[in-house]
Structures are given as structure tokens and as C-alpha cells.
Amino acid sequence: MGSALMALEVQIEKKLADFALEVSFRAEAEPLSILGASGAGKTMLLRCIAGLEQPDRGRIKLNDRVFFDSESHLNIPARQRRVGLLFQNYALFPHRTVAENIAFGLEGLPRDERAKKVATLVERAHLPGLEDRYSRTLSGGEQQRVALARALAIEPEALLLDEPLSALDTHLRSQMEIQLQETFAAYRRPTLLVTHNMEEAYRLGARLLILSRGRVVASGAKERIFQRPPSVEVARLTGCKNISRASAISDHSVEALDWGCTLRLAQPAGQSIAQASAQVSAQAPGFVGIRAHHIEFVEANGASSEENVFPCRLVQSSETPFRVTLFLTMQQHSSQSPQPDAAQLQAEVYKEKWQRFRDKPFPWHVRLPSDSLFWMKE
């Protein structure tokens, strides 16, 4: 079967404890990251596809096989789906060795063929020497590799990974990420990767699907979603720190109500307001946002009439080893009120850069570059 024909098509509804999972998407032979906060229904979605849970309604189809169809009362059991599922806790059989775990799904093969296949999988998962060990004695990274090798042993037609990196220590994560990327590159079949970490989602997936309380709030090319989040919710889930209520004055100019300034936008403000409604009415309400690392600090040579440049003052700062997050306010008046000003903007800069202007007197000047600003509907 050519890879062009491979596709996982999901369109399901399932009532959960406090919301309903209502998801519809199509995944082709490339990794798709499913991003969402904990409890957004991500794991349930994978379990429905694997056949461990039954949706209330809908249809699940992988390549030319229908797994579930509520209309024709079809529900293929998990064991017949040939879908590899990597559990969040890896679910290795504690009473079986590494080799026996990997061989579990190869029951149908003759003994010598099975041994050969296990040896290949052990090799590919960088596990040689550990064949006779029990999972208890393995490190987290090794356990994950065994679980992945075990899932791949049945040559699944789709691979589902539930938070594959969340159980690992930070230093192991980047290492495992590279291994996962290798695996995905070799696998080339529909692959879903569930995570609550947006960086992981971005690095590991070719495409992105964002889930919030059981619904798809964004899906498509990851670059586009991160650059132009379609809604405030997606902006927040993708880590955008600066969001202001805004009203559109014209196509390229908006008033940021929370920041108290007028901003020029490279992209027309109306664009992501329902394009169907032919005309964008003036004063159309919406939101404007910018990512913390896109905010620039500029020298003010008296003329603060430059595009999107505004004076500001520092309210607070927070340092990480290499970067610093600056909490800024754009209020003009210095703090004569006893209350400290509330921060309006978060900017993130490298420390080297910060050293250069940290001791300068207020006001500082920030630029909100017009091509980094994005307009969002509610």
C-alpha cells in the first residue's frame, strides 16, 4: 500500500465525566501531535482508537479497515486492530524479560523466526545486553524503548503514543526525543503523539491538533498555528503570554484596550474574523497577541513615533539560567500610587541583551513588531 493511501480517519463523540469528547480529524503517514492540558480528553481519544474504550457515536477508520462505526454497530476488538499503543506508564509485563515482553505480540510466528525478529527489534531499540533483564531493573528510558519495541513488533498500521516523555527525567527527554524522531522517520505510518508539552508537540509532530475540553480548537501545520493562533484559547495553549482585548479600527490597525495603545498589524485584523462575513465592521471586538520573545527593546531617540514603539517601565523580572522574563507596564505615570503597577506585558530576552539595558533609566522603549502581532477572535 502506498503511503499516500494511508490514513487514520476519526470522527467520534463520547460523553466523559464533565464534558463530551467530540473530535474529528484525519492523520496521514506522518506524526501528528495532539496537544492539550491534562484532562482535555487526549488519552481517551487514543484509547478509543486502540479499541480499549468505545465511543458513543461516530466512526474510526484506518486505511481500508473500519474499526468502529456506530451506525452499523461495528466495534472491532483491540486485539484485531493492529494499532500500537505506547502507554504512559509503559505497561511492561513485570513477570517477563525484555525479550519476552517484545515477543509477546509475535505469538503466531515459529520459534526461530520469532527469535530473529526479537533480536532485530532489540538491536534497533538500542537494547542489546538487556534481553534477559526484568523491567523493574531497567531505567525509565530503557523501559520506554522496550515498550516501543514491543508495540512495533506487531508491525502496527498506526502508532499511538500517550505522553511518551512525561515519565522521564529532564536529561533523558531530549535523548529520547531524538530516538522517537528516528523511529517516526523509519515508521512512516499514521502516528499520533499525545502531550501537554507544547515544545514536545512542536518538535515531534509534523502537524498539530490542539484539544481543549474534548474539542479540536486548532489543527493544521504547526508553524501556522504557532504563528497565528486562531483563538485566545489556542494562543494560551501554545504559550502566548501577551493577550489584550482589542477592537479593530481599520484593516491594519487595532486598539489594544488592555495595553492602552494603538497597534499596526502586518496581517489585516479582519482576516481571522470569520472570513465568511464579508465585511469587517469597524470597532469589531477581538484580541491581539504577541509572544514574549518577539517583543524588542529599542533605543528611544526622542521620537517615539516609530511604528508600534511605546515607553514602558519594569515591574518585576524573573531569571532562568540563560534568559530573563521581564514584566512590564506601559502606564505613563510613574508609581506615585502606593500600589505597585500591574504588569501588562511579558518580554523574554537573553541575559546578554538584558545586561545592556538593565541599568538604564526608565522609561524603556519596547517595539511590538507589526508582523509578530496577531489578531484573534474570541
Partner 1 sequence: MDWSPLWISLATSVTATVITLFLGLAAAAWREGRNGPAMALVDGVFLLPLVLPPTVVGFLLLLLFGRNGPLGKLFLGFGATIVFSWPATVIAATVVAFPLMYLTARAALEQVEPSLLQAARTLGASEWRVFREVALPLAWPGVLAGTILSFARALGEFGATLMLAGNIPGRTETIPIAIYFAVEANEMKQAAAWCLIDIGISLVLLAGLYYWTHLQSPERLRWARR
Which residues sit at the interface with partner 1, rule CB under 8 A?
50-52, 77-85, 87, 89, 91, 93-96, 100, 104-105, 107, 134, 136, 150-151, 153-154
What is the Cα 190 distance to its own chain's centre?
17
Shortest spacing between CB 196 and partner 1, in angstroms: 19
Cell of 194: 499525545
Query: Are the CB atoms for 24 and 216 separated by under 8 Å?
Result: yes
Q: Is 134 or 327 the residue whose CB approaches partner 1 more closely?
A: 134
Strand order in the sheet with 364-367: 296-298, 364-367, 309-319, 323-329, 345-350
Query: Are the CB atoms for 174 and 199 separated by under 8 Å?
Result: no
Shortest spacing between CB 222 and partner 1, in angstroms: 27
Nearest-angstrom CA–CA distance, 267 and 288: 11
DSSP 195: E
The SS3 assignment for 280 reads coil
Long-range contacts, stretch 100-109, CB < 8 angstroms, 24+ apart: 101/135, 101/146, 101/147, 101/150, 102/146, 102/149, 102/150, 102/153, 103/153, 104/150, 104/153, 105/150, 105/153, 105/154, 106/153, 106/154
Q: Is 94 or 110 the residue whose CB approaches partner 1 more closely?
A: 94
